[in-house]
């Protein structure tokens, strides 16, 4: 599961940065990403990881499963360094170590237990959360750079967190019919699609590590709290302090990663504009043409001659006369005082 999510993050980030930057909260980005084979392979890995996580949520507490999902961030960073030659700052490497330390503490503190079912209030809460995340994403998509990665990644984490909350009791369905008729299934799908869109937008705007770290933090903490309060998630007796330390270490690591992470995929801010090649035209010389008849003009500027730089020839009543334009050469003539 950890490896599957790590590979998925890496491949989806590559596809996202090779796609035209999306400036609106519109599912059209997912359609564009679906045209990239790299993204489809990454999506397949993410689905495989999701299936494994779904099966694990049947008996394991959410904070343990979400911590395992977050561990994919380290796999993404390592693969990025080895395959794509990413350069991670030393501070970021240390924070990745702290992240794994926090996850390890959570793993040791988790106690397996069956899930409790959500009632009508839980369904309403998940529906409201879906609308809230989508609304915030509509405004957060206007952010760029590291703030955009962190904001959109955090919202993606909230969407995936709600999907995890829906998946925990759904995994305990007694039959296929009950599974398909459960409203939690469709809430899970809706939250997953919104989270996938937000994650793609986050990866387009800056560091993949920052985007995924923010997503994992925002996804792990709310799911863990809801699981402990409503879904019968358990902690081994006497290890509550270990769970607290693990959560604190994870949060510090994620905040640090979003602070130090720099964009790893560089996209030109604007395409270089080249001047179009204009045809050379001959302007017949007039009565006042100092350069003589037949002067060659490119883009309205006559070619340089011993007579100096001259501007475009402007027609007059008696023919063409030279119009001196200092701006035509792009250079500023020095000013002298008499």
> Residues 21-70: pLDDT tens digits?
555 555 665 666 667 787 788 788 888 988 998 998 988 899 888 887 87
- When pLDDT is averaged across residues 219-239 and rounded to a whole number, the result is 90
Is residue 172's pLDDT more than 50?
Answer: yes
Domains in the chain, number: 2
Mean pLDDT confidence for 268-295:
43
CA distance 276 to 97: 53
Token pair 């995994």 is found at: 171
Q: 277 in a domain, yes or no? A: no
Predicted local confidence at residue 156, as pLDDT: 93
What pLDDT shows up at residue 231? 93
Q: Are 158 and 219 in contact (CB under 8 A)?
A: yes
Q: Which among 265, 285, 312 is the end of a domain?
A: 265
Report the C-alpha gap between 196 and 239 in whole angstroms: 34
Question: What value does the mean pLDDT of the chain take?
Answer: 74
| Selected residue with higher pLDDT from 287 and 180 | 180
Token output for 107: 């793993």
pLDDT at residue 207 in the model: 67
Identify whether residues 5 and 104 lie together within a single domain: yes
98 and 141 in one domain?
no
In a shared domain, residues 119 and 227 = yes
Last residue of a domain, one of 232, 252, 286: 232
If asked whether residues 240 and 107 sit together in one domain, one would say yes
Q: Which of 172, 261, 163 is nearest to 212 (CA)?
A: 261
Residue 336 domain flag? no
What pLDDT score was predicted for residue 45? 87
Both 106 and 121 in a single domain? no
Ranking 17-31, 62-76, 236-250, 256-270 by mean pLDDT, the lowest is: 256-270
Q: What pLDDT is recorded for position 38? A: 78
Query: Would you tell me the crossing angle of helices 72-83 and 90-109 to the nearest 10 degrees?
Result: 150
Q: Is residue 278 part of a domain?
A: no
The pLDDT of residue 23 = 53
Asked if 123 and 225 sit in the same domain, the reply is yes
Residue where one domain finishes, among candidates 232, 249, 274 = 232
C-alpha closest to that of 215 among 160, 139, 148: 160
Domain-embedded: residue 275: no
pTM of the model: 0.66
The beta strand positions in the chain, using DSSP E, are 110-111, 234-235, 280-283, 295-298, 301-302, 313-316, 319-322
Residue 332 forms part of a structural domain? no
Q: Are residues 104 and 132 in the same domain?
A: no
Tell me, yes or no, whether 142 and 180 share the same domain: yes
pLDDT at res. 312 = 43
Per the domain annotation, does 97 fall within a domain? yes
Residue 286 lies in a domain: no
94 and 121 share one domain: no
Does 126 lie in the same domain as 224?
Answer: yes
331 pLDDT more than 60: no
Of the candidate ranges 116-125, 177-186, 199-208, the one whose mean pLDDT is the lowest:
199-208
Pairwise pLDDT comparison (321 vs 140), residue with the higher score: 140
- Residues 130, 175, single domain; the answer is yes
Q: What is the pLDDT of residues 176-201, one digit of tens each?
A: 899 999 999 999 999 999 998 898 88
Give the domain range for residue 182: 115-232
* pLDDT of 316 above 60: no
The answer to whether residues 149 and 206 touch, using CB atoms and an 8 Å cutoff, is: yes
64 and 17 in a single domain? The answer is: yes
Does residue 299 lie in a domain region? no
Judged against a pLDDT cut of 60, whether residue 132 lies above it is answered with: yes
Pull the structure tokens for residue 27: 């599912």
Is residue 191 within 8 Å of 132, Cβ to Cβ? no
């Amino acid at each position: 599961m950890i490896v599957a999510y790590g590979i998925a993050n890496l491949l989806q980030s590559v596809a996202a940065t090779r796609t035209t930057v999306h400036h609106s909260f519109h599912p059209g980005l997912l359609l564009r990403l679906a045209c990239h084979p790299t993204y489809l392979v990454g999506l397949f890995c993410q689905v495989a990881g999701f299936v494994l996580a779904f099966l694990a949520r049947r008996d394991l507490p959410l904070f343990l499963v979400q911590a395992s999902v977050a561990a994919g961030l380290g796999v993404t960073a390592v693969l990025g360094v080895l395959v794509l030659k990413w350069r991670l700052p030393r501070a970021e490497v240390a924070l990745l170590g702290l992240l794994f330390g926090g996850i390890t503490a959570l793993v040791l503190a988790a106690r397996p237990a069956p899930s409790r079912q959500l009632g009508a209030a839980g369904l309403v809460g998940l529906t409201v959360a879906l609308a809230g995340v989508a609304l915030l994403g509509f405004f957060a998509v206007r952010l760029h750079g590291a703030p955009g990665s962190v904001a959109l990644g955090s919202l993606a984490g909230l969407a995936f967190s709600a999907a995890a909350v829906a998946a925990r009791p759904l995994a305990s369905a007694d039959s296929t019919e009950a599974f398909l008729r459960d409203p939690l299934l469709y809430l899970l799908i809706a939250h997953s699609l919104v989270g996938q869109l937000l994650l793609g937008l986050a990866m387009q705007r800056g560091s993949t590590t920052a985007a995924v770290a923010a997503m994992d933090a925002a996804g792990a903490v709310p799911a863990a709290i809801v699981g402990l309060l409503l879904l019968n998630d358990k902690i081994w007796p006497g290890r509550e302090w270990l769970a607290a330390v693990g959560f604190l270490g994870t949060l510090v690591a994620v905040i640090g990663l979003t602070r130090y992470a720099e964009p790893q995929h560089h996209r030109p801010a604007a395409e270089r504009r080249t001047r179009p090649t204009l045809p050379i035209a001959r302007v017949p010389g007039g009565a006042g043409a100092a350069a003589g008849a037949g002067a060659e003009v490119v883009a309205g500027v006559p070619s340089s001659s011993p007579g100096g730089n001259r501007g475009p020839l402007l027609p007059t009543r008696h023919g063409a006369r030279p119009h001196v334009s200092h701006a035509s050469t792009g250079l500023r003539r020095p000013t002298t005082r008499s």
